[in-house]
Amino acid sequence: MRVVVLEDESAVADAVAAHFASLIRRKPDAVLGLATGGTPVGAYQRLIELHRRHGLSFRQISSFNLDEYLGLDEDHPQSYRRFMNEQLFDPIDIDKNRTRVPPGRPDDIRTACQRYEDEIVAAGGIDLQLLGIGRDGHIAFNEPGSSLASRTRCTTLAATTILDNARFFGSEDLVPRAALTMGIGTILDARQILLMATGSGKAEAIAGSIEGPVSSRVPGSALQLHPDVVVYLDAAAAHRLEYLEYYLESERTHRSLGLLPFP
Ligand code: GLP
């Protein structure tokens, strides 16, 4: 796992966008795994800027989002499909037919989940999967207790997640109780995973994910089993890491050896 600790939220957004842009330039038809929540918004804004000012093109890109609330129509103000359209897809030149978000109102839940898995495989697998993390360590909507081998399925939101996401809905009562989400096993199939976190509220989940035991108690800890994970953190999200000095030193060493592909 490569752990990159940066000064603040803005530096994290820059680094994540640069990482995506580098892949897109190298592989213009890359398959991206995308995330929602407050954390990636800054990085998406940077990507929009790179598209507008520097001609970064998404024309041949395909994407799969991690999850969607169950019961929300695509145009519901809090649906993840609408979030992605507004925060990234509408302002860039991506072909929306090649963007996938799990359906919020599937005819049949099991069929829809299997179809999502099949579509990822048919697209050739995900090249780079972006992840945020919940305060309770969830990735996508894989809450504590999720199988580390889980696939795309319907999950129940944990109480802390309902509370955290109530800010988007205006009230806890309005937050859907269930979601369709890629499983942890689905996420681990991506060729590279990029986890981003900012703010002290994420510090414990980050420490548990990077340094804690691999356990369904902290779903993010499953990332320790993947061979190519890059974690971008601001200082606040990193402050509970026991080996922080080591990660900083490791970055310096790799940089001096010319081993870092990204700034
Ligand atoms: C949501 C999403 C996750 C996201 C997490 C953190 O519940 N399902 O994919 O990583 O919460 O959200 P935020 O970035 O707003 O803190």
Per-residue pLDDT of 154-168, as tens digits, reads 999 999 999 999 999
Please tell me the number of Cα atoms within 13 Å of 219 on its side-chain side: 29
* 90 is a catalytic site residue: no
Domain ranges, residue 77: 2-256
Answer yes or no: is 246 within a domain. yes
Q: How confident is the model at residue 260 (pLDDT cuts 50, 70, 90)?
A: confident
Q: Where are the beta strands (DSSP E) in 7-88?
A: 31-34, 62-65, 67-69
134 Cβ below 6 A of ligand 1: yes
Cα–Cα distance, 214 to 229 (Å, whole number): 15
Going from the Cα of 40 to the center of ligand 1, the distance in angstroms, rounded, reads: 9
Write the CATH number for 25: 3.40.50.1360
- Domain count for the chain, please give it: 1
Cα–Cα distance, 140 to 132 (Å, whole number): 8
Answer yes or no: is 262 within a domain. no
209 Cβ below 6 A of ligand 1: no
**Quick one: pLDDT at residue 262?**
55
Answer yes or no: is 194 within a domain. yes
- Tens of pLDDT, residues 193-247: 999 999 999 999 999 999 999 999 999 999 999 999 999 999 999 999 999 999 9
Indicate whether 263 pLDDT > 80: no
Cα–Cα distance, 109 to 3 (Å, whole number): 37
- Tens of pLDDT, residues 54-74: 999 999 999 999 999 999 999
Minimum CA distance residue for ligand 1 atom 1: 37
> Which contiguous run of DSSP H or E holds residue 120?
helix 109-122
Answer yes or no: is 207 within a domain. yes
137 Cβ below 6 A of ligand 1: no
* 51 is a catalytic site residue: no
Give the CA-trace dihedral at 212, 214, 219, 223, to 10 degrees: 90
Answer yes or no: is 261 within a domain. no
Catalytic residue among 9, 127, 143, 234: 143
Answer yes or no: is 35 within a domain. yes
Q: Which atom of ligand 1 is nearest to the CA of 141?
A: 8
Cα–Cα distance, 67 to 79 (Å, whole number): 10
Minimum CA distance residue for ligand 1 atom 9: 140
Q: Where are the beta strands (DSSP E) in 60-122?
A: 62-65, 67-69, 99-100
Percent of the chain having pLDDT more than 70?
99
Q: Which atom of ligand 1 is nearest to the CA of 131?
A: 10
Q: How confident is the model at residue 259 (pLDDT cuts 50, 70, 90)?
A: confident
Q: Is 111 exposed, middle or buried (0-12, 13-18, 19+ CB in 10 A)?
A: exposed
Ligand 1 binding pocket mutation candidate from 72, 101, 133 (most atoms within 8 A of CB): 133
**pTM exceeds 0.75, yes or no:** yes
68 Cβ below 6 A of ligand 1: no
Answer yes or no: is 58 within a domain. yes
Going from the Cα of 139 to the center of ligand 1, the distance in angstroms, rounded, reads: 7
206 Cβ below 6 A of ligand 1: no
140 Cβ below 6 A of ligand 1: yes
Number of H helices and E strands in the chain, helices first, is 9, 10
Q: Which atom of ligand 1 is nearest to the CA of 181?
A: 8
Residue 220 contacts residue 144 (beta carbons within 8 Å): no
> Which amino acid is residue 37, in one-letter code?
G
Answer yes or no: is 45 within a domain. yes
